[in-house]
Amino acid sequence: MIRLVLVPGFIALMLVAGGHDPAWRSVAWAAFTVAMITDLFDGHLARTYNLVTDFGKIADPIADKAIMGAALCCLSALGDLPWWVTGVILGRELGITLLRFVVIRYGVIPASRGGKLKTLAQGVAVGMYVLALTGWLASARFWVMAVAVALTVATGLDYVRQAVVLRREGIAARRAVVLDEARARDLGTGDRVQAAVRGTVPPEVAEEGDADDAREETGSREPSRDVAASGEVRREATAGDGAAPGAGRDQGDATSEDAAPRGRRSQA
């Protein structure tokens, strides 16, 4: 929050008296230094004392970019720093920020040591340009800024590489999850089919689920009972029909036996 408040004050101090007054530039340098030191320590303090908030997560990176962007734009507007340097640094910072939001669905790109070293180099270089330096210090700040620009480009490319790898790994992980779910569904169907093959239920019935199996099995048992009952009725009827001819033969035999004695008596 302090850095956000310091941004407009720093811009005003940089532009006082046309921006070339050494005294005011020194005051502006003090404001810039306070902002950079706050940037280095506030994150550590927030994590140590559990003061991390959602507002801080959003405001902290905005404040970082705001104070650095204000300093670079003021220096380029005053002719102290080429515009292409400002463009490279700000373009990298904004691009990486957008890249983080793009790949956040696959994971978080962690901060690297190179990124921290880049931030330190940028702070030292811009601070040296904010001061009205002369002599060999004026020449030295050129090389410090060159190192800062080189680190800015190198770390930016490294972040792009990490984002590409993170995206590929995230896509591969999602595909693996989809394939595992498909295999699980296929294995479940296969188990039901195998159980049906081992039993008496047709596979198409087993695939319909336990409820359908119960209904189908119940329906298949009831017709079998009816068929068994009808078979018993037929056997009883057949048994009854077979008994009548036997009785007729018995009666005929008895009649013939009665007729034989009568014939013998008549002959006598």
Q: Give the whole-angstrom CA distance, residue 149 versus residue 144.
A: 9
Q: What is the percentage of the chain residues whose pLDDT exceeds 70?
A: 62
Fold of the domain built from segment(s) 2-170: Four Helix Bundle (Hemerythrin (Met), subunit A) (1.20.120)
Query: What are the two backbone dihedrals, phi and then psi, of residue 263, each rounded to the nearest 5 degrees?
Result: -65, -40
Q: Please compute, for residue 39, the number of CA atoms within 13 A of its CA located in the half-sphere on the CB side.
A: 24
Q: Please compute, for residue 81, the number of CA atoms within 13 A of its CA located in the half-sphere on the CB side.
A: 31
The DSSP annotation for 24-40 comes to HHHHHHHHHHHHHHHHH
Model pTM?
0.63
Other Cβ atoms less than 10 A from the Cβ of 6: the count is 20
- The pLDDT assigned to 247 comes to 44
| Cα distances (angstroms) measured from residue 129 to each of 22, 28, 118, 137 | 12, 11, 16, 10
Q: Give the whole-angstrom CA distance, residue 23 versus residue 26.
A: 5
Query: What are the two backbone dihedrals, phi and then psi, of residue 50, each rounded to the nearest 5 degrees?
Result: 55, 50
In sequence order, which residues have a C-beta less than 8 Å from that of residue 15 and are 6 or more positions away?
A: 74
- The pLDDT assigned to 176 comes to 85
Mean pLDDT of 79-102: 92
**Tens-digit pLDDT profile for residues 173-230:** 888 888 888 888 777 665 555 555 555 545 554 455 555 555 555 554 444 454 444 5
| Cα distances (angstroms) measured from residue 220 to each of 155, 193, 197 | 74, 19, 17
Closest CA relative to residue 2, chosen from 48, 153, 10, 264: 10
Closest CA relative to residue 146, chosen from 67, 88, 91: 88
Tokens at 267, concatenated: 């002959």
Distance of CA 126 to the CA centre of its chain: 41
- 3-class SS at 183? helix
- The pLDDT assigned to 153 comes to 96
The domain spans of the chain are 2-170
Highest mean pLDDT out of 89-98, 114-123, 143-152:
143-152
Whether pLDDT at 17 is above 60:
yes
Tokens at 95, concatenated: 């691009």
Q: Give the whole-angstrom CA distance, residue 180 versus residue 83.
A: 53
- The pLDDT assigned to 85 comes to 96
**Tens-digit pLDDT profile for residues 20-42:** 899 999 999 999 998 888 876 77
Tokens at 157, concatenated: 């490319």
Q: Give the whole-angstrom CA distance, residue 183 versus residue 189.
A: 10
pLDDT band at 172 (very low <50, low <70, confident <90, very high): confident
- The pLDDT assigned to 258 comes to 47
In sequence order, which residues have a C-beta less than 8 Å from that of residue 105 and are 6 or more positions away?
A: 170
Please, what is the Cα angle at 248 between 242 and 250, to 5 degrees? 105
CB–CB of 166/153 below 8 Å? no
